[in-house]
Amino acid sequence: MAASRTCVMGILLLLCWTSVGDAKYVKYKDPMQPVDVRVSDLMKRMTLAEKIGQMAQIERSVASALVMKDYFIGSVLSGGGSVPAPQASAEDWINMINDFQKGALTTRLGIPMIYGIDAVHGNNNVYNATIFPHNIGLGSTRDPDLVKRIGSATALEVRATGITYAFAPCIAVCRDPRWGRCYESYSEDHEIVQAMTQIIPGLQGDLPTNYSKGIPYVGGKDKVAACAKHFVGDGGTHKGIDENNTIINRHELLSIHMPAYYNSIIDGVSTIMVSYSSWNGVKMHANRDLITGFLKNTLHFKGMVISDWQGIDRITSPPGANYTYSVQAGVNAGIDMVMIPYDYTSFIGNLTTLVNNNVVSMSRIDDAVSRILRLKFTLGLFENPFADLSLADQLGKKEHRELAREAVRRSLVLLKNGKSNKEEVLPLSKKAQKILVAGSHADNLGYQCGGWTIEWQGGDGNITVGTTILDAIKSTVDPATSVVYSENPDPTFVESGNFSYAIVVVGETPYTEFAGDSFNLTIPEPGPSTIKNVCGTVKCVVVIVSGRPVVIEPYVPVMDALVAAWLPGTEGQGVADVLFGDYGFTGKLSRTWFKSVDQLPMNVGDKHYDPLFPFGFGLVTKPGTAA
């Protein structure tokens, strides 16, 4: 049916072109032509200004229909928290994006723009979107099929807002939890990260039979272009410092940090984003050996290479110290599209001068632009440049929230269950007379979701639509059970409360990137005080909400049970599902849980491996309701 519809469309377009005055048949506008033929035909018609414009990706706050037209801009993005309006609807997003697209289509050649957004755990910039667990939790499920289904749901919610390009997945192999992006990594083990690249066919669609490896693929209007990031070694920086230097030999780089890129390319990933970090002192954004030599020439990646946000600026220290050199080094290294994101006139002016002076070759420009155009043809943007409301009902859809809830319960890792093997605490009784729920993270959706949620750094409180862990507990227990919430109760309150048991939910406050770098990895107060005040007095289950392992060894003896919930997202009901035995615990640690930060970095297989809880650890319980 789809093929015949495409055929009819092609015939109609041909009739239209041949019937309008002196209009001539144009190959690149013909959807019946092979993509490479369309790319070649369009490239022959483009001026240098039109080509360089295609290489620019700008932030929505500086974009307009006029800017798109005058500078031939190839792409627009939303940075973290950059939205058309507070609590913007799908229609608000679509109207904004279509306005930019109208500007792009009024250019001489009518090349559509592509809109990109960070959709790293669902369409996370968008109010009312389903927010899935961050990658560290998904790694604990060990389930590539689950991750693929999450990719499919995310693609629908991204398309619901008119967006065709998601900057996901992050396939970093985090080797040091002090790194502020560690929760964006599925695991310290590259094999788990490789398995989880199944999110790519979820986002983009399964490759057709006999599809050429290494060529981008997007399988229809309900799918998006994906982006494997950050190439390469971002999870191995010295002391876990964000954007720092990864100091390892080539064999270690290729054996630990590169393998997931092999899987991504085989799965037809459309784009790859370059890392801010350096490898043995060489900035990745300027590393021609790895970007052009290895990624493009050795691995035969035919997709588009994109910079990170102001990534080329940071080639120099301080950033932007010699912008002309940054443009030269980044483009000559093999970057095809530059995430500028604001000062696009400087980028365009500098690159134009560099080409005219033969510092950047025309063949390098043509390689970049051909990759960009191939992606746009593959996405079907030339035939369907405008977004519509046909998928608007997919945003925050009930089925997607149920999938997120499933992901939450399967990501939870049970680290302790009773002070001895004969005193198992979990599952908890739903019919207890009186329950205490305590902790800063029990009734805080923003804390539950973590960074990259509504705002770049995340937020505090009811920042979007979802279910807090406290709400989930209340809806799970027997109606006759009294649930008392006190964020940070003192021991006297706990002693006098006559509670059957307590659930303490504490953890890290939200952060992203360098703002999350930590050398102490402690739970901020009042978390530790809440654990001591409650667990020293009444039987307690502690739920840790965090983006990585944190310091807990001093408190473990007073806990009756301990659960790592990671950053579960909007569907807190998944936590209650497992605490109360509707489902069993099945998650396994995707990272080593250290005793002390003095041990870091420490990864499974290291010679002096002495963890608090080893990689792969996770107690298992069977579904069942406690008495």
| Residues recognised as catalytic | 308, 513
| The residue type at 572 | G
Q: Are 277 and 308 in contact (CB under 8 A)?
A: no
Task: Determine how many CB atoms are found less than 10 A away from the CB of residue 341.
Answer: 23
Residue type for position 609:
Y
> Contact at 8 Å (CB) between 309 and 338?
no
DSSP assignment, residue 100? H
Rounded CA separation 474/494 (Å): 19
CA distances (Å), origin 436, targets 313, 376, 428, 489, 495: 52, 55, 13, 10, 11
End-to-end CA distance of the chain: 56
CB 116 within 8 A of CB 163: yes
Cα 100 from Cα 114, distance rounded (Å) = 10
Q: How far apart are alpha carbons 167 and 228 in whole angstroms? A: 7
Residue with tokens 């297989």: 605
Cβ atoms of 521 and 549 within 8 Å: the answer is yes
Structure tokens at 209: 């039979």
Alpha helices in 35-171 (DSSP H): 35-45, 48-54, 65-71, 90-105, 135-141, 144-160
Backbone phi, then psi, for 342, in 5-degree steps? -105, -55
Based on DSSP, count helices (H) and strands (E) in the chain, helices before strands. Answer: 21, 17
Return d(Cα 58, Cα 77) in angstroms, integer: 6
CA neighbor of 344 nearest in space, from 69, 60, 71: 71
3-state secondary structure labels for all residues of 252-288? HHHHHHCHHHHHHHHCCCCEEEECCCEECCEEHHHCH
According to DSSP, residue 525 is labeled T
Q: At what angle do helices 362-379 and 35-45 cross, to 10 degrees?
A: 130
Secondary structure letter of residue 619 according to DSSP: B
Helix (H, G, I), strand (E, B) or coil at 228: strand
Q: Judge residue 373's burial from the number of C-beta atoms within 10 Å of its C-beta, 0-12 exposed, 13-18 middle, 19 or more buried.
A: buried
In whole angstroms, how far apart are CA 237 and each of 168, 186, 234, 310? Answer: 20, 16, 6, 19
